[in-house]
């Protein structure tokens, strides 16, 4: 269900499960294997997308949820699927590389949970819906979406979205802060973002990602201390001197343009 293609130092992982692009249990192991490869540092940025027009990942397979309700896991195994979903989304956060969700269609339920675990989210304009509709189906999000959504947009907005099982348009998702940006083609836009990030020093990008994710859940004093420690450790790496030397070698009038990413 997951197919990976490399575009230089960018990994593009595409999920395809026709006809509706529902997520399935067996796809967890496939994604885990891809993450194992990315953990080895073979790429600089990861892009996740959907392989069926109009659908990123519609949501989790409701038939499978219903079967599990009728024939539940044993008391020692339960809740097996939710733990599995949370484990794989946490691994995306632990990757040193940034992860970009190219949401090229309907992105609901676990599809949106997976997107919330990404570092950046690009939604494609069109007649698509984004959100967590689980309450309407009689369940609640348990693949990390409920918690991640609350951390992203705050308790009040999360309550409104979850309790009403709201699924919104890409435009509304941007206004609500659910996605990073909109694009006519989410994959092209995500690849452009990935290329921009891949051009940065990879060790610096990895350390910045780690500091943000870990510091977000710490009390202020601990987060500030972790920020200092992260910066100090990074400065022990000799490879970070190259971009600073490149900057200092420029004439003064060209330095701001370089910082803007316009190149030297």
CATH 1.10.12 positions along the chain are 202-259
* Burial class of residue 84 (count of CB atoms within 10 Å of its CB; 0-12, 13-18, 19+): middle
The model carries a pTM of 0.93
CATH 3.30.420 fits 202-259, yes or no: no
CATH hierarchy code of domain 2-198: 3.90.226.10
CATH 3.90.226.10 positions along the chain are 2-198
DSSP codes, 176-218: HTSSSEEESSHHHHHHHHHHHHHTS-HHHHHHHHHHHHHHTTS
pLDDT one digit per residue (tens) for the chain, 264 residues: 999 999 999 999 999 999 999 999 999 999 999 999 999 988 999 999 999 999 999 999 999 888 887 777 776 566 888 999 999 999 999 999 999 999 999 999 999 999 999 999 999 999 999 999 999 999 999 999 999 999 999 999 999 999 999 999 999 999 999 999 999 999 999 999 999 999 999 999 999 999 999 999 899 999 999 999 999 999 998 888 999 999 999 999 999 999 998 754
- Interatomic CA distance for residues 64 and 172, integer angstroms: 30
């Amino acid at each position: 269900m997951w197919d990976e293609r490399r575009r230089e130092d960018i990994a593009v992982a595409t999920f395809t499960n026709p006809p509706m692009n529902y997520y399935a249990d067996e796809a967890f192991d496939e994604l885990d294997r891809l993450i194992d490869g990315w953990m080895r540092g073979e790429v600089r940025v990861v892009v996740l997308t959907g392989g069926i027009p109009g659908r990123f990942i519609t949501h989790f397979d409701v038939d499978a949820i219903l079967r599990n309700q009728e024939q539940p896991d044993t008391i020692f195994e339960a809740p097996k699927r939710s733990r599995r979903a949370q484990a794989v989304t946490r691994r995306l956060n632990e990757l040193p590389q940034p992860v970009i969700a190219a949401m090229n269609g309907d992105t609901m339920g676990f599809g949106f949970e997976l997107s919330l675990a990404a570092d950046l989210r690009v939604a494609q304009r069109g007649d698509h819906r984004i959100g967590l509709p689980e309450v309407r189906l009689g369940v609640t999000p348990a693949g990390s979406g409920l918690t991640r959504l609350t951390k992203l947009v705050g308790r009040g907005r999360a309550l409104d979205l979850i309790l009403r099982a709201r699924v919104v348009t890409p435009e509304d998702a941007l206004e609500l802060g659910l996605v990073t940006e909109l694009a006519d083609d989410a994959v092209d836009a995500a690849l452009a973002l990935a290329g921009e990030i891949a051009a940065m020093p990879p060790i610096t990008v990895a350390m910045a990602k780690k500091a943000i994710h870990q510091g977000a859940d710490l009390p202020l004093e601990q987060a500030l201390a972790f920020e200092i420690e992260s910066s100090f450790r990074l400065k022990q790496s000799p490879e970070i001197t190259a971009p600073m030397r490149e900057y200092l070698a420029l004439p003064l009038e060209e330095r701001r343009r370089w910082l803007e990413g316009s190149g030297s």
